[in-house]
Amino acid sequence: MKFGYARVSTKSQKHDLQVDAFLKEGIKPKNIYADISSGAKAERKGLDELLSILREGDTLVVWKLDRIARSLSHLTKLIEDFEKKGIHFKSIQESFIDTTSPHGRFIFNLFANWNEI
């Protein structure tokens, strides 16, 4: 199953652009989770709820990497956790980050290893 995660930083911002992109990706509205929260905050109710329901074979889609992760190390940890659970990850704007394909997993591993240098 495909899920989307959207985040905006302030109440004056809207999720519309992200949600429209998820719908074009074939994600059902009931499978879109969202937060209004600064990216610096670790606790995000919508993300926490979504992470608790993801199962093996699911795909989590984000509009951009900065919508889900606070830093490269945070993103790396999330993706490593997803891989252990058999969950795929895809970024719409950074289309080279797509762990549903061998090429996308390779590219992500390059980024993850770059983070360790």
Catalytic residues: 9
Rg for the chain (alpha carbons), in Å?
13
**Among the listed residues 3, 35, 6, 27, the one whose alpha carbon sits nearest the alpha carbon of residue 18:** 6
| Dist. CA 15–CA 22, nearest whole Å | 11
